[in-house]
Structure 1
Amino acid sequence: LQGRHEQATDHYQRALKLAPTIGHRGAELDALAGLGQIHSLQGRYEQATDHLERALRLADTTVHHPSELQALTSLGVVHRAQGRYEQATVYLLQALHLARATGYLTGEQNALAGLGMVYSAQGQYEQATDYYQQSLRLARASGHPSGELQALVGLADLHLMQGRYPQATDDYQRVLDLAHQIGHLNWQYEAWQGLGRLQQITGNPEAALAHHHEALVFATDLGQPGDQARAHDGIAHAHLALHRPEQARAHWKQALDILTRLGVDHAEEITVAAVRHHLANLGDGE
């Protein structure tokens, strides 16, 4: 939760080795689900899927609903990140039904937010808004600040995409303040990235450049390459608006290199096709 993925990975791996030796299947399931989530955050989708599917197979013989819900939700996120929206929806609905059947509010909140992400990615904004609002109400009622941040970022992105800039500004600023307060680096990244996109759209490229540079620092510290690509894309757009084509080209090349290395055609709001188009317009044959 603090973005220290290397340390988290080390502890999960040690737990994963130890748990089978003492027959602790719940801890083994925890470790597999946790490692899957970290691989997903760092763009290693094949490894993430492997760990998460192992977790689900183990869940068939182990009654440990929190980790089973984490695995289901994380698989939904992995499939969404790769544009497999139908599969993502199946996993997230399974998670939602299990969470409601077992009364696990955090699991329900995470599944709702995940469904919001899937519908938002498909341009189905009304459904996405409904899921995010349900998630936000649940997170606040259960005192879950990380869940509140997740829902607020989703709603801020929806406001941005639909041109409701004052509402987007308020939500991103709320995310930045709360994430800083609880020390959650990933949501600080999302707030800076969102504010950068907002400033770019509203004609303030200097401010956009500053915000995207802040986002890049967080993405680099977190070791999240997909988010680094997103920040580079934002920086490139700002440089281009400031009539600095060479700097724009350099950052779009970095974004393209990252996405190519990850083997994905998009990372949230940016796509390989769009980056290639920008480079072509700058006279680059990439």
Structure 2
Amino acid sequence: MRGETATLIKIGAVYSALGEQQKALEYYNQSLPLFRAVGDRRGEGTIFIRIGQVYSELGKKQKALEYYSQSLSLLQAVGDRQGEAYTLNNIAAVYSELGEKQKALKYYTQSLPLLQELKARIYEATILTTIGLVYSELGEKQKALEYYTRSLSLSRTVRSIEQENIALNNIAAVYSELGEKQKALEYYTHSLLLSRLIMNSEQEALALFNMASVKRSLGNLTEALNDIEVSIKIIENLRTKIISQKLRTSYFATLQDYYEFYIDLLMQLHKTNPNSGYDVKASEARKRVSNF
């Protein structure tokens, strides 16, 4: 029976990864009576998480919450602290997607002491960042900074450069929104250096794009132009290496945002330097976008 349940779950997971969520549900639901037959409440709670995730993917958020709630009760009853923390975060994510930010905060903050107890420090750093994002969306920028800074400190302690990079970008974004542009540039520059250190081209392009935006707001148009041109070159290079059409479409959307900024910046430069050919470069950029 253990082998059968494990196989059913794996098949369900494959279907879920392929985007065939109804098929995934079919196999997950087949495993439930097997867990119940042997009284495996932890296994049953874990399947409820998977079913909740499928319903969330299908956009059925209330249905997802029902299954997460059942999972939470079961996992708390058997003392599965890791599963409990994971479920709390899933519930929080659904509430956040539903726009119920205060409820999301309630569940995220409930998971933190569990993660600390489990010494799941990288996951804790991730949740600290997520809480910061929720506070930022609520307009509580100082509170967001508090959580981003905690995430940054913890990321450095556990030497998670990827998580450190995310925290740096988020801190920079808040400082930029608060009008503290030089501070924002400091954090974006640090993010850029880290991205190059770990050879994360996507993060490098993002850091350059963000730096260009800040520099433009400060009136440093030429420096902004240099940053956005390097950023676009990186993104275009990445796009040529993507096989998945879905991912190529995602990169196309990113490129459009970058090019819109680039073209606007070129036309702004053209107004101040009408004989420097910036309008020609803008026209070439428009043609390139139309050919994507």
TM-score, length-scaled by structure 1: 0.61
In the alignment, what sits opposite 2:177? 201
Cα distance in 2, alignment partners of residues 156 and 47 from structure 1: 33
Cα distance in 2, alignment partners of residues 132 and 246 from structure 1: 39
- Residue 83 to residue 52, structure 1, CA distance change in 2 (3 Å): closer
Aligned Cα RMSD in Å?
A: 4.7
Deviates more, 1:86-95 or 1:165-174: 86-95
Asked if 1:103 is matched to 2:86, the reply is no
Structure 1 residue 171, shift from structure 2 partner: 1.9
Query: CA deviation digits over 1:88-145, x for unaligned, max 9?
Result: 4344333223323433222122111112122223332111111112222443456554
**Could you tell me whether the CA contact under 8 Å between 2:205 and 2:232 is conserved in 1?**
no
**Could you tell me whether the CA contact under 8 Å between 2:8 and 2:27 is conserved in 1?**
no
Query: CA deviation digits over 1:213-245, x for unaligned, max 9?
Result: 63586695xxxxxxx767744542323433223
Cα distance in 1, alignment partners of residues 154 and 50 from structure 2: 24
In the alignment, what sits opposite 1:276? 256
Query: CA deviation digits over 1:185-238, x for unaligned, max 9?
Result: 664454344334335434223532432563586695xxxxxxx76774454232
In the alignment, what sits opposite 2:229? 246
Cα distance in 1, alignment partners of residues 46 and 161 from structure 2: 20
Cα distance in 2, alignment partners of residues 160 and 266 from structure 1: 28
Query: 1:60 is paired with a residue of what secondary structure?
Result: helix
**Could you tell me whether the CA contact under 8 Å between 1:85 and 1:118 is conserved in 2?**
yes
Structure 1 residue 247, shift from structure 2 partner: 2.9
In the alignment, what sits opposite 1:135? 111
Q: 1:169 aligns with which of 136, 142, 145?
A: 145
**Could you tell me whether the CA contact under 8 Å between 1:29 and 1:58 is conserved in 2?**
no
Percent of pairs identical after alignment?
Answer: 16
The total of aligned residue pairs comes to 249
Alignment of 1:1-286 (within 5 A): 24-25=2-3, 28=6, 32=10, 36=13, 44=17, 46=19, 54=27, 57-62=30-35, 64-66=40-42, 68-73=44-49, 76=52, 85-86=61-62, 88-140=64-116, 144-146=120-122, 148-182=124-158, 187-202=163-178, 203=181, 204-211=184-191, 214=194, 220=200, 232-242=205-215, 243-244=224-225, 245-250=228-233, 253=236, 261=244, 263=246, 276-280=256-260, 282=263, 283=286, 284-285=289-290, 286=292
TM-score, length-scaled by structure 2: 0.60
Deviates more, 1:92-101 or 1:177-186: 177-186
In the alignment, what sits opposite 1:16? none
Cα distance in 1, alignment partners of residues 30 and 107 from structure 2: 28
Query: 1:174 is paired with a residue of what secondary structure?
Result: helix
Query: Unaligned stretches of 5+ in structure 2?
Result: 216-223, 264-285
Query: 2:6 is paired with a residue of what secondary structure?
Result: helix
- Residue 172 to residue 257, structure 1, CA distance change in 2 (3 Å): farther
Larger Rg: 2
What letter corresponds to residue 238 of structure 1 in structure 2?
M
**Could you tell me whether the CA contact under 8 Å between 1:233 and 1:255 is conserved in 2?**
no
Query: Unaligned stretches of 5+ in structure 1?
Result: 1-22, 221-227
**Could you tell me whether the CA contact under 8 Å between 2:5 and 2:34 is conserved in 1?**
no
What letter corresponds to residue 58 of structure 1 in structure 2?
S
Query: 2:19 is paired with a residue of what secondary structure?
Result: helix
Cα distance in 2, alignment partners of residues 78 and 219 from structure 1: 33
- The structure whose RCO (Cα within 8 Å, separation 6+) is larger is 1
